[in-house]
């Protein structure tokens, strides 16, 4: 996955992501594609969660999965999550849950609860940073005011780091793939360097839905695991989702 | 050919929006989820529309599991032990999962597995 929160020169925030899933889950030698990735694409839907006929939040889901990987609470915040691999992973969390130790939260259910109940960027950030989880994760959160954008790096028990947009330091966007931002990505899976190169080339003055879509369409940011690209504008409550494919030549991850 | 081998080789794209061409496969459809109705009912319309696709995905995962465990025991274990997990999930998620399984006509344990896929795959 690749997620990015960026602020333009007027203080408007954009949040976008590629959702990549299905690595090593079967290879279709005829279509040159991952099997599960192919089967997930037709399940991608935009959801408008309503109460009293009014939108509470919107999300992008795979039909049948009720947690949230990508969502927007209009005028308040935007949220995506990226997978964080760790030896102390969710498998242990599930075992603990089965054995009756149930003080941790399932990742997808926490993000759903945050989108349903939190009403501000700060409230969402605190809940995502402080709630004990069953699995490690990266939460990428955007707000509706200048400099409200961060990557929360989570272990199961705690927040390891919160990396925020800082205009003073020249950091007008934060971008996360599937590696801790203070470490180098795996050399075989470096989507961060090309994505940042394209963001830097775009410049803050030109950031928009169109230019972010360009970045997320550049291989290997776009790859054979990419199921969809979502663009979100919190101030207008806008969410657009496009199903993706990556015909050859294209990186398998 | 360079795309097959890391590191990155493609130049930054431009002018790809609005989306079109071979990397664009359409827009995702919209559905309303009514939080005012019972958790068991709120996913019904969506799952009815996507029943065939969801069944195809679950079957694909089962085929994969059966390729590693040809006896079919793994799928049996999922059906037997993952289903009851739904009753331990916080409200309203357990009821929502049961509603999805009913609407899709898929064993509850397999829908639970789909919903905890993230936790399983972080190792």
Query: pLDDT, tens digit, for every residue of A78-130?
Result: 999 999 998 888 888 888 998 999 999 999 999 999 999 999 999 999 999 99
Backbone angles phi, psi at A230, to 5 degrees: -120, 140
Q: Is A10 part of the contact surface with chain B (CB cutoff 8 Å)?
A: no
Whether the pLDDT of residue B122 is over 80: the answer is: no
Look up tokens 């049996």; give the residue. Answer: B76
B25: how many CB neighbours lie within 10 A of its CB? Answer: 16
- Looking at residue B6, its pLDDT comes to 59
Task: State the Cα–Cα distance between residues A239 and A121, nearest whole angstrom.
Answer: 17
Among chain B residues, CA nearest to A246: B23
Q: Is the pLDDT of residue A214 over 60?
A: yes
- Rounded CA separation A123/A106 (Å): 19
A contact test, residue of B28, B52, B60 with most A CBs within 10 A: B28
* Of the candidates A165, A158, A20, the residue with the CA atom closest to the CA atom of residue A81: A20
Whether A1 is a known active-site residue: answer yes
Residue among B3, B16, B119 minimizing CB distance to A94: B119
Q: What is the CA radius of gyration of chain B?
A: 19
Q: How far apart (Å, rounded) are the C-alpha atoms in residues A128 and A159?
A: 8
Binned at pLDDT 50, 70 and 90, residue A182 comes out as: very high
Whole-angstrom Cα distance, residue A182 to residue A6?
19
A209 touches chain B (CB under 8 A): yes
Q: What gap in Å lies between CA A207 and CA A39, rounded to an integer? A: 33
> Cβ–Cβ of B114/A64 closer than 8 Å?
yes
* Averaged pLDDT score across all residues of chain A: 96
Sign of CA dihedral B69, B70, B75, B80: negative
- pLDDT score, position B3: 52
| pLDDT the model gives residue B15 | 97
Q: Which residue has the tokens 């090593």?
A: A24
pLDDT at B79 over 80: yes
Residue A8 pLDDT greater than 90, yes or no: yes
- Predicted local distance difference test score (pLDDT) of residue A130: 97
Q: Is the dihedral angle over the CA atoms A164, A167, A168, A169 positive or is it negative?
A: positive
User: Which alpha helices (DSSP H) does chain B contain, by range?
Assistant: 44-49, 51-68, 73-77, 93-104, 108-115, 117-120
pLDDT over 90 for what percent of chain A? Answer: 89
Q: Indicate the residue of A35, A42, A193 with minimum beta-carbon distance to B8.
A: A193
| The predicted structure's pLDDT at residue A127 | 98
pLDDT band at A249 (very low <50, low <70, confident <90, very high): confident
Average pLDDT over residues B42-63: 96
Closest-CA distance of chain A to residue B15, Å: 7
> Please, which pLDDT band fits residue B7 given cuts at 50, 70 and 90?
low
Put residue A16 in one of left, alpha, beta given phi > 0 → left and psi -120 to 50 → alpha.
beta
pLDDT grade for B9, boundaries at 50, 70 and 90: low
Question: Given an 8 Å threshold on Cβ–Cβ distance, is A66 in contact with B120?
Answer: no
Q: Are the Cβ atoms of A46 and B28 closer than 8 angstroms?
A: yes
Catalytic entry in A1, A150, A198, A246: A1
Residue with tokens 């059906």: B79
**Residues B86-115: tens digit of each pLDDT:** 999 999 999 999 999 999 999 999 999 999
CB A215 within 8 A of CB A195: yes
At residue A19, the 3 state secondary structure works out as strand
Asked if A165 and A7 count as a contact pair (C-beta separation under 8 A), the reply is: yes
Query: Across the interface, do B12 and A218 touch by the CB < 8 Å criterion?
Result: yes
User: What is the CB neighbour count within 10 angstroms for residue A165?
Assistant: 21
CA distance A60 to A79: 11
The beta-carbon neighbor of A87 closest among B43, B61, B123 is B123
pLDDT band, very low/low/confident/very high, at A65 (cuts 50, 70, 90): very high
Q: Looking at residues A212-239, what average pLDDT do you find?
A: 97
pLDDT at B8: 54
pLDDT-based confidence at residue B4 (cuts at 50, 70, 90) = low
Indicate the pLDDT class of residue B75, thresholds 50, 70 and 90: confident
Residue B83's pLDDT is 93
How confident is the model over B26-37, as pLDDT tens digits?
A: 999 999 999 999
Under DSSP, the state recorded for B81 is: I
Q: Is A93 in the B-facing interface, judged by CB distances under 8 Å? A: yes
C-beta of residue A148 within 8 angstroms of C-beta of residue A73: no
Q: Can you read off the two tokens belonging to residue A169?
A: 């330091």
Of residues A1 and B8, the one with the higher pLDDT is: A1
Predicted local confidence at residue B5, as pLDDT: 58
> Cβ neighbours of residue A212 under 8 Å, at least 6 residues apart?
A4, A6, A14, A16, A202, A231
Which residues contact residue A154 at a Cβ distance below 8 angstroms, ignoring those fewer than 6 apart? A84, A128, A129, A133, A136, A137, A138, A139, A160
End-to-end CA distance of chain A: 9
């Amino acid at each position: 996955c690749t997620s990015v929160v960026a602020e333009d020169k007027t203080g408007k925030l954009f949040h976008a992501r590629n959702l990549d899933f299905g690595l090593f889950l079967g290879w279709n030698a005829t279509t040159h594609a991952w099997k599960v990735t192919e089967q997930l694409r037709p399940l991608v839907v935009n959801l408008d969660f309503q109460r009293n006929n009014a939108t509470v939040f919107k999300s992008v889901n795979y039909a049948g999965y009720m947690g949230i990987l990508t969502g927007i609470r209009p005028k308040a915040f935007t949220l995506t999550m990226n997978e964080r691999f760790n030896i102390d992973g969710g498998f242990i969390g599930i075992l603990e849950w089965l054995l009756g130790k149930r003080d941790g939260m399932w990742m997808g259910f926490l993000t759903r609860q945050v989108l349903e109940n939190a009403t501000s960027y700060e409230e969402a950030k605190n809940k995502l940073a402080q709630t004990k989880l069953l699995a490690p994760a990266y939460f990428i959160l955007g707000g509706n005011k200048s400099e409200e954008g961060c990557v929360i790096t989570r272990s199961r028990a705690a927040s390891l780091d919160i990396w925020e947009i800082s205009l003073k330091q020249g950091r007008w966007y934060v971008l996360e793939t599937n590696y801790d931002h203070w470490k180098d990505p795996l050399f075989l899976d470096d989507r961060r360097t090309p994505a940042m190169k394209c963001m830097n080339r775009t410049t803050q003055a030109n950031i928009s839905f169109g230019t972010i879509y360009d970045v997320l369409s550049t291989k290997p940011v776009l790859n054979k695991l990419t199921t969809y690209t979502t663009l979100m504008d919190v101030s207008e409550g806008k969410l657009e989702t496009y199903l993706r494919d990556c015909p050859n030549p294209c990186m398998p991850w | 050919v360079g795309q097959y081998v890391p590191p990155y080789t493609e130049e930054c794209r431009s002018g790809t929006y609005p989306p079109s061409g071979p990397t664009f496969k359409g827009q995702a459809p919209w559905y309303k989820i009514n939080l005012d109705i019972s958790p068991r009912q709120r996913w019904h319309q969506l799952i009815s529309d996507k029943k065939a696709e969801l069944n195809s995905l679950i079957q694909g995962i089962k085929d994969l599991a059966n390729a590693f465990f040809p006896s079919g025991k793994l799928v049996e274990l999922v059906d037997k032990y993952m289903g009851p997990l739904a009753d331990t999930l916080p409200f309203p998620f357990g009821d929502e999962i049961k509603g999805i399984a009913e609407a899709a006509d898929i064993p509850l344990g397999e829908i639970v597995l789909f919903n905890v896929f993230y936790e399983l795959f972080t190792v």
